[in-house]
């Protein structure tokens, strides 16, 4: 391939396993081109696993935002739940025998958790320093800028778990991203929200999640997906021949990962559509400046988020991602 500029693609997205869009072609990065590239990139491609703990559900957006602001890329994200005691026992196997083990495993089953795979140079050490000491009281005292100082409560409820070593990362990631940790979608009273790839690429997904939660909506399921063209075309089929920018809209949905959510509330589709705002961000900025599209949209295709249009389609769109895929 001839050397050429690739607008929109940033170094942050260049890690093994990443799916990138180069001149309208979706490519998966499977290996390095040569030794020089391997040496350059491996140094910056450390990985770790983090888990946002049950009592911090409402802080999920702020924590994801802080993760981005500290220079990490998120390559995997999934909300799930420890539904069986054996799952929590297995995940925290190395603490078996500790006096706090029973309390810890019970607490971890108390509500949904969100797991993320993070990519950055020295990811394991970096994340541990961003989180601060295990004990939130110590974090508040000795590392007041750390995430556990901000969001932790005590030594057990310390906001976020992080892998302690490379072996722990492999093990914990394997457990959490296995099918035994299923989606938490309810498929009723719901609408489907997709944080579009341009927002994820700009590191702003945490801010969208936070805005949704602060508005009082429940995010009952959430996962990062990378859509290929046929999948995006199938999901958005109703707009084919209706929206003049259909092709651009599909392109915008496939340039990188998106984050899909089941959002719940009374009258979910209609109330969430009001919060998302008009399709055109220019109109949204002028008429509805507090809406998501006014804040996160750029153009009619890169308009920040997708949301379900018709009430009867809410559960169907959610099922497309969390039940059928
Ligand atoms: P985490 O990073 O998830 O790894 C193990 C967890 O055990 C730790 O964070 C805390 O939630 C919990 N933990 C560690 N030490 C104690 C303790 N002394 N008392 C209660 N819980 C603890």
How far does the centroid of ligand 1 lie from the alpha carbon of residue 251, in Å?
44
Choosing from 23, 95, 150, 161, the catalytic residue is 161
HSE-CB for 43 with a 13 A CA cutoff = 5
Q: Whose CA is nearest to atom 6 of ligand 1?
A: 156
* pLDDT(310) > 80: yes
Residue 163 pLDDT grade (very low, low, confident, very high; cuts 50, 70, 90) = very high
Position 127 scores a pLDDT of: 98
Please tell me the residue having the least CA distance from ligand 1 atom 3. Answer: 161
- The pLDDT of 14-23, averaged and rounded, is 82
Residues 6+ positions from 142 with CB-CB distance below 8 Å: 132, 133
The contacts of residue 166 (CB under 8 Å, 6+ apart) are 124
Distance of CA 178 to the CA centre of its chain: 17
pLDDT, tens digit, 9 for 90 and up, residues 70-86: 999 999 999 999 999 99
Tokens at residue 241, please? Answer: 């021949």
Q: What angle do CA 272, 275, 278 make, to 5 degrees?
A: 105
In this structure, the residues whose C-beta lies within 6 A of any atom of ligand 1 are 95, 100, 104, 134, 155-156, 158, 161-162
> What's the mean pLDDT in 218-236?
97
Residue of minimum CA distance from atom 11 in ligand 1: 156
Query: pLDDT: is 5 or 98 the higher one?
Result: 98
Is residue 161 part of the annotated active site? The answer reads: yes
Tokens describing residue 156: 């057990």
Six-digit token string for 103: 């309390």
Burial class of residue 56 in the structure, from the number of CB atoms within 10 Å of its CB (0-12 exposed, 13-18 middle, 19+ buried): buried
The residue whose CA has the least distance to atom 9 of ligand 1 is 161
- The helix-helix angle for 60-69 and 205-214 (nearest 10°) equals 160
Q: How far is the CA of 54 from the centre of ligand 1 (A)?
A: 14
Read off the pLDDT of each residue in 265-269 and give the average, rounded to a whole number: 96
- 52 C-alpha vs ligand 1 centroid, how far in Å? 13
Provide the pLDDT confidence category of residue 38 given band limits of 50, 70 and 90. Answer: confident
Residue 149 Cα to ligand 1 middle (Å): 15
């Amino acid at each position: 391939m001839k050397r050429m500029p690739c607008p929109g693609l940033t170094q942050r997205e260049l890690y093994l396993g990443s799916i990138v869009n180069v001149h309208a072609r979706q490519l998966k990065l499977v290996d390095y081109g040569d030794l020089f590239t391997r040496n350059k990139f491996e140094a910056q491609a450390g990985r770790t696993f983090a888990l946002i703990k049950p009592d911090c559900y409402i802080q999920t957006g702020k924590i994801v935002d802080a993760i981005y602001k500290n220079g990490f890329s998120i390559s995997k994200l999934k909300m799930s739940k420890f539904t069986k005691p054996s799952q929590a026992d297995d995940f925290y196997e190395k603490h078996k025998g500790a006096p706090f083990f029973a309390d810890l495993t019970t607490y971890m089953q108390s509500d949904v958790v969100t797991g993320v795979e993070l990519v950055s140079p020295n990811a394991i050490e970096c994340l541990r320093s961003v989180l601060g000491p295990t004990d939130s009281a110590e974090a508040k005292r000795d590392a007041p800028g750390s995430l556990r100082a901000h969001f932790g409560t005590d030594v057990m409820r310390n906001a976020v778990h992080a892998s302690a070593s490379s072996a722990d990362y492999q093990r914990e990631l394997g457990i959490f991203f296995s099918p035994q940790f299923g989606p938490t979608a309810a498929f009723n009273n719901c609408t489907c929200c997709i944080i579009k790839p341009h927002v994820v690429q700009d590191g702003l997904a945490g801010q969208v999640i936070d805005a949704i939660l602060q508005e009082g909506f429940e995010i009952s399921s959430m996962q990062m997906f990378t859509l290929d063209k046929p999948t995006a075309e199938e999901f958005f089929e109703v707009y084919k021949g209706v929206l003049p920018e259909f092709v651009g809209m599909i392109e915008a949905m496939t340039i990188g990962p998106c984050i899909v959510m089941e959002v719940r509330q009374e009258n979910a589709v209609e109330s969430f559509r009001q919060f998302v705002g008009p399709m055109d961000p220019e109109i949204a900025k002028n008429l509805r400046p507090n809406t998501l599209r006014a804040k996160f949209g750029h153009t009619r295709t890169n308009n920040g988020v997708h949301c379900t249009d018709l009430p009867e389609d809410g559960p169907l769109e959610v099922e497309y991602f969390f039940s059928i895929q």
